[in-house]
Amino acid sequence: MSKVFPAKVTDLSTPDISIAITCWNMERELPRTLWSLSRAFQQGADDLTWEIIVVDNGSDRLPLSPKMKPAPRILAARLPAPSPVGAMNEALALARGQIIGAWIDGARMASPNLLASVARAAKAHQAPVIAIPNRQFGSDRQATAALQGYDRAAEDALLAAAGWPEPSADLFAVSWPEEPSPTAPMLESNALFLHRSTWAALNGYDPAFVEAGGGMCNPDMLDRALRHPGTQFIRMSGVATFHQFHGGTSTSDEMRAVEMVKKATRAYVALRGHPPRKQRARGWVYDATTATMDYGSSKV
């Protein structure tokens, strides 16, 4: 596998955080995701610098960004494919920050305290694996809610009622948690933040995950990051990403979701020799509401 990342960045103007995003045909969803990462929406981040890199994976036309700061860099994937892995690695390769977040689903909006909380949590360890919890808009898993009529129009009304696009919007109140608690077993994070040296050592996402949607590439990335020597699992409380309904591979139709998971699991077993496993280690827990880290029984 060819190397994804340059060995070292020496530019003193590099941002504190980079956010690498992939998307495909998300004209409705991506602008919301980008706005949620803007200076107008992110709170408590006046002392931070960050960049946003979007690599579009073969959409009918290149997506547009809202007028915002920082202005996202939006590029077309060199080799678009059914799997987002190639586009994700392209975005990661362009990232200049010391802490780099991978957003493999461009439909996931950020809570308004996310970047400030990540920056603070990252200072606690030289090789953090910061896994942002996943939530879905609506009152149930979207693949299930769709059977009861949940769709884009229902979601638009839900977001408007919550106060979007103001940073005071209560996105937690109109969403469903994929993990029931901050320390619950976690299969994946759709906003995974690692030090750039860790990304370089792991060489990004594994291109062997070629199926549509990437299959289990995201759980695999979290698992490899946590198994890498010297890393520290940091769970986050009081922040999240919020999935918008967009006809995705595993969130828009219950029967399709079950079949996709089965197929992805078989592919994962063929690659790794065992089924994908949820991460059960407690790790450290950073509480964004109090800006404190819970190290558990010991600090290592």
> Can you read off the two tokens belonging to residue 280?
């059960």
Domain edges within the chain: 17-292
What confidence score (pLDDT) does residue 12 get? 56
Residue type, 239: V
Give the pTM.
Answer: 0.93
What confidence score (pLDDT) does residue 7 get? 41
The Cα 203–Cα 65 span in angstroms is 28
Residues 17-292: name the CATH superfamily: Spore Coat Polysaccharide Biosynthesis Protein SpsA; Chain A (3.90.550.10)
Across the chain, which has 300 residues, the per-10-residue mean pLDDT values are: 55 87 96 98 97 97 96 97 97 97 97 98 98 95 88 96 97 96 96 98 97 95 98 98 80 70 93 96 97 81
What confidence score (pLDDT) does residue 175 get? 97
CA dihedral over 186, 211, 31, 89, signed as positive or negative: positive
Order of strands across the sheet that contains 284-287: 73-76, 50-56, 17-23, 99-103, 192-195, 128-131, 232-237, 284-287, 292-294
What confidence score (pLDDT) does residue 139 get? 87
> Can you read off the two tokens belonging to residue 5?
């990342």
Q: Buried b vs exposed e over 124-156: b needs ≥16 C-beta within 10 Å?
A: ebebbbbbbbbbbbbeebbbbbbeeebeeebbe
